[in-house]
Amino acid sequence: MTVDAAGSFIVDTGIIIQGPPIGTNTTGQEAQGPHCITGGGKPTDGAGGQHAGHDRGGRPLHRRGPRRVLRLHQHPQLAGRGGLRAELAANRKPYHSDEELEGRKLDRTLTYGLAGLFVVAIGLPLYWLSEPGRQEGAEEDFGRKFVDRGAELFATTEEGGFNCAFCHGGMNAEGGVADYTITDANGQFVAEVEWQAPALNTVRLRYDREEVRYVITYGRPFSPMAAWGLEGGGPLNDQQIQNLIDYIESIQITPAESQEQVAEELADMRELEDEDGRKVYPPSVSDGELLFNLGYESGFAGGAYACGRCHTIGWSYGEKTADGSGGLGPSLRNGVSINQFPGAFQGPVAQADFVCSGSEEGQPYGRQSQGTGQMPGFCQTPEVVSNPLETGEVGVEDEEPSDPDTVGGMLTKEQVEAIVVYERQL
């Protein structure tokens, strides 16, 4: 390839183009004149007299053209930018020389490689060090999402939820009231009542997650609490129930806060007066009896702290019968507690331990009784053991039960012992 004086690139392709035989008419016009091949004359070459279009042997002569030369001209509009109409293929272009390849280019390539090695050597350990935090952050993000989804389920119907907040006292679930229709054994109408719906901001202080799941799934028969789980005939699947429990856990108060609220409510009950100005609960009424009926008049926490809510018929809608006459829980009257936990000394201790920790499904308690898990623990928060293979729940952390003597639960151990003394007198 060469460049001529005009700036054109000339490429010798080495191709010889074969032309047509000499004398061949390529114009498409009729030949005229004495020297034309088809004319009247018979022209010959001046030397041998052979036909002008043939050699001495009569074979037609062919015109041999010059070597074909390819000229590459710069386009006028591209000349200022070094552009060409055509350029060589990439594999035809000359590459860097050995001096350049083994010089600046090699140094540049090695520099890039060293920089990449430095990034990997520093970045990989940093990633490894941050991995535990990343995993912890992912778990927290899962927990946050579950709580948010549970909040959407817990919200009122107007807000797109399943109306838990409407019955249980708002999104903080501090206790509320639900309308309920009481029927007789034949399903006939008896009365329309306002039923105290318990606070749920203390439910995890007395029930473990599985017990809460059971109540949500199957509901509470003969009360406004319907079954919400698919197994109980409700609309919520297992994941939705977990989200709901996760949200309820997020609004729990501490044992200390719970016990402080109880102390305040006891003080208010002691000051309660009837229409004639007399104390509703004079000093002769024990703390055990007040705790057994905590919130009956005031609606405190929707009766969540009161034993009477489960163990007295009519307690939840303001028409209670004799204390301990039985309801969702068994009757406690006529010496039932003494028969269940016999002994003047050991009996009250065993009964207080049972009320503190609650019943555990399938586990024996008292004398010849077996727990169902429906009796909550009132002065010890329950143990939680994460078991995703059995429960299907993810993101649940293990929890140790609280110490009844030092921490307590919803109530202090002394308050539970006062309740036991009252129950053993029924």
Amino acid 126: pLDDT: 85
CB 316 within 8 A of CB 223: yes
Amino acid 262: pLDDT: 97
pTM: 0.70
* Residues 6 or more apart whose Cβ sits within 8 Å of residue 290: 266, 269, 270, 281
Coil, strand or helix: which one is 63?
strand
Handedness of CA 347, 353, 356, 357 (dihedral sign): negative
> What confidence tens digit (pLDDT) does each residue in 52-64 have?
455 555 555 544 4
CB 17 within 8 A of CB 68: yes
* Confidence class for position 18, pLDDT limits 50, 70, 90: low
* Residues 6 or more apart whose Cβ sits within 8 Å of residue 161: 152, 153, 154, 155
* Confidence class for position 424, pLDDT limits 50, 70, 90: very high
Among candidates 193, 188, 212, 197, which has minimal Cα distance to 165? 197
Coil, strand or helix: which one is 362?
coil
> What confidence tens digit (pLDDT) does each residue in 255-285 have?
999 999 999 999 999 998 888 999 989 999 9
Amino acid 11: pLDDT: 62
Half-sphere exposure of 130 (CA within 13 A, CB side): 8
Quick check: 146 pLDDT over 50? yes
CB 315 within 8 A of CB 306: yes
Please measure the distance between the N-terminal and C-terminal CA atoms of the chain and give it in whole angstroms.
Answer: 119
**360-380: average pLDDT:** 91
> What confidence tens digit (pLDDT) does each residue in 280-308 have?
899 999 999 999 999 999 999 999 999 99
Greater confidence (195 vs 11) lies with: 195
Task: Enumerate the β-bridge partners of residue 64.
Answer: 18
Lowest mean pLDDT among 9-18, 34-43, 160-169, 228-237: 34-43
**216-228: average pLDDT:** 95
Amino acid 12: pLDDT: 62
* Confidence class for position 30, pLDDT limits 50, 70, 90: low
Half-sphere exposure of 335 (CA within 13 A, CB side): 4
Coil, strand or helix: which one is 382?
coil
Q: What is the mean pLDDT of the chain?
A: 84
> What confidence tens digit (pLDDT) does each residue in 320-345 have?
999 999 999 999 999 999 999 999 99
> What confidence tens digit (pLDDT) does each residue in 99-125 have?
777 888 888 889 999 999 989 999 888
Share above pLDDT 90 across residues of the chain, in percent, rounded to a whole number: 60
- Distance between CA atoms of 156 and 178, rounded to whole angstroms? 13
Task: Enumerate the β-bridge partners of residue 384.
Answer: 399
- Distance between CA atoms of 14 and 258, rounded to whole angstroms? 102
CB 158 within 8 A of CB 147: no
**161-170: average pLDDT:** 96
- Report DSSP state, residue 379: S
- Which phi and psi (to 5°) does residue 66 adopt? -75, 170
149's enclosing H/E stretch is: helix 106-154
**362-391: average pLDDT:** 90
- Distance between CA atoms of 215 and 228, rounded to whole angstroms? 9
**135-142: average pLDDT:** 76
Coil, strand or helix: which one is 21?
strand
Among candidates 299, 309, 290, 277, which has minimal Cα distance to 206? 309
CB 50 within 8 A of CB 42: no
**Token reading at 165:** 């907040």
- Distance between CA atoms of 31 and 43, rounded to whole angstroms? 14
Ordered by start, the domain boundaries in the chain are 2-43+63-92, 164-423
Greater confidence (293 vs 391) lies with: 293
Amino acid 42: pLDDT: 47
Quick check: 7 pLDDT over 70? no
- Distance between CA atoms of 24 and 60, rounded to whole angstroms? 10
Helices (H), 279-412: 287-292, 308-311, 336-340, 346-357, 388-391
**Token reading at 97:** 């020389």
**194-207: average pLDDT:** 96
Quick check: 164 pLDDT over 80? yes
Q: What size, in residues, is the chain?
A: 426
Instruction: Give Cα separations from 311 to 118, 127, 303, 324 (angstroms).
Output: 72, 58, 12, 5
Lowest mean pLDDT among 62-66, 196-200, 216-220: 62-66
* Confidence class for position 132, pLDDT limits 50, 70, 90: confident
> What confidence tens digit (pLDDT) does each residue in 64-93 have?
445 444 444 444 544 444 444 567 777 887
The neighbour count for residue 72, using CB atoms within 10 Å, is 15
- Which phi and psi (to 5°) does residue 270 adopt? -65, -25
**401-425: average pLDDT:** 96
Greater confidence (40 vs 284) lies with: 284
Amino acid 51: pLDDT: 47
